[in-house]
Amino acid sequence: ATDVLRPDFETALAIRARSVEVALEKLLDDRVRNGEIVRPERLMAAMRHGVLNGGKRLRPFLVMESSALFSADKEPALRVAAALECIHCYSLVHDDLPAMDNDDLRRGQPTVHRAFDEAAAILAGDSLLTYAFEIVASEETELPPSTRAKLVAALARAAGHGGMAGGQILDLAAERRKPDEAGIIILQAMKTGALIRFACEAGAIIGNATPEDRERLAEYGAAIGLAFQLADDLLDVTADATSMGKATGKDAAAGKATLVSLHGVAWTKKQLHGLVEQAETLLEPFGADATLLKHAARFIADRQS
């Protein structure tokens, strides 16, 4: 059934990606912002390089689709989606730096510190992170002030020391001292899960959902966030299918502890299946309106890139 679903879902994802890219292009226009000429052209060029370079735009998709469940206005949701993508892209720009993963390529193109320099990459990441909060908090995001404040608080929690940045330092520490299963799950929930969870919860916040529905969307996001990371770990291990099952991906080659390295490929695939079912069950109350979000769960679990 997955093969039948895939083209429909991928088309919907591509359509949403295009609309978020148009929004991002406008937000990252180097010429004029708020009626003023923006001077640091090189910094803005580095920011654009880190953002407007392909990418699945999965997190924006989740914001848009989750908010649609509550019949929220599309424009404010699109701005929140674009802001979240700025934070995701900042994390990739910084993750690629020599102090972290030291990668030369991202999305098939030179990383920001390669195309510019390290200082520009650090500052582009910093600026994308702060810009995201400006976008969400701004009156141009036409949501009630209390809704914008809730979004800012939840986004800060997801991106900061208790979320993505905290998960990243746990991940770096894990190269020296291998975490146990519980440690791996916490690390992953923070490093990659927190932003994905936020994406889904944000839809409920934008749509002024009940606390129960907000929690339901957050739980759905947490389930697919873990599925996303498990799929990533599986891809890492199977990076070279010709190596007779030998691990060849970057993390596996570095001896990083993952649930795949602890329990193996078959166990992980079973877990993924369970997470997809859990995600679909959480969406049951929304009926047919949640069809694309259900497909998103399967897409994430089955993804090949």
Interface positions with ligand GRG (CB under 6 A): 55-56, 58, 91-92, 94-95, 107, 164-165, 168, 191-192, 232
Complex with ligand GRG: residue 67 or 188, whichever CB lies closer: 188
Complex with ligand GRG: residue 107 or 263, whichever CB lies closer: 107
Complex with ligand GRG: residue 12 or 143, whichever CB lies closer: 12
Residues 192/153, Cβ–Cβ less than 8 Å: no
Complex with ligand GRG: residue 38 or 152, whichever CB lies closer: 152
Q: Which residues contact 4 (CB under 8 A, 6 or more apart)?
A: none
Complex with ligand GRG: residue 219 or 232, whichever CB lies closer: 232
Question: Minimum Å distance from CB 211 to ligand GRG?
Answer: 28
Question: Minimum Å distance from CB 278 to ligand GRG?
Answer: 20
Residues 237 and 269: their CA atoms lie apart, in Å, by: 13
Question: Minimum Å distance from CB 182 to ligand GRG?
Answer: 20
Question: Minimum Å distance from CB 144 to ligand GRG?
Answer: 30
Report which secondary-structure segment, H or E, holds 157: helix 145-159
Complex with ligand GRG: residue 232 or 302, whichever CB lies closer: 232
Q: What sign results for the dihedral spanned by CA atoms 37, 43, 48, 51?
A: negative
Amino acid at 215: E
Q: Which residues contact 38 (CB under 8 A, 6 or more apart)?
A: 30, 31, 32, 44
For every residue of 167-231, which 3-state class applies, written as one string? HHHHHHHHCCCCCCHHHHHHHHHHHHHHHHHHHHHHHHHHCCCCHHHHHHHHHHHHHHHHHHHHH
Question: How many other CB atoms are there within 10 angstroms of residue 263's CB atom?
Answer: 13
Question: Minimum Å distance from CB 213 to ligand GRG?
Answer: 25
* Distances in whole angstroms, Cα of residue 32 to Cα of each of 9, 41, 142: 36, 11, 21
Question: Minimum Å distance from CB 191 to ligand GRG?
Answer: 5
